[in-house]
Amino acid sequence: MYAKCQQFKFHDFNSAKIAASYCGDILGKQIDDLNMAGLNIFLGKDGELSIIVKFEGIEELRAYDKHSRDLRKDLNASFNFTEVKYSGVCVFSYENEATDISIAAD
């Protein structure tokens, strides 16, 4: 699994909160089109915003690069922030699936 990780540091929490909502809306609409295997957006209390987008193949990751540049350009038009981004290979991932195993008594 491959991932694109973007970490933004905004000057205040409210800017990060607005940017997180915008990123969630834009990226959420592109899940199928970009063949995303996973999307996580994290918001920190001091104005940090982290976006992790996962893909099964390297070609999907490369296709996403253009969209990540466009997203950064959109954010840059409205906010002041610093950014760190990198592409990586997932070496460990665990997520507990939410399931209901209860049995209703009749």
Number of residues in the chain: 106
Output the CATH code of domain 2-89: 3.30.70.100
Q: What is d(CA 47, CA 12) in angstroms, rounded to the nearest whole number?
A: 5
Average per-residue pLDDT in the chain?
A: 88
pLDDT digits (tens, 9 = 90+) for 3-50: 898 999 999 999 999 999 999 999 999 999 999 999 999 999 999 999
Q: How many CA within 13 A on the CB side of residue 56?
A: 6
Q: What is d(CA 19, CA 75) in angstroms, rounded to the nearest whole number?
A: 7
pLDDT digits (tens, 9 = 90+) for 65-74: 888 888 889 9
What ranges do the domains of the chain cover? 2-89
Helical ranges in the chain per DSSP H:
13-29, 58-78
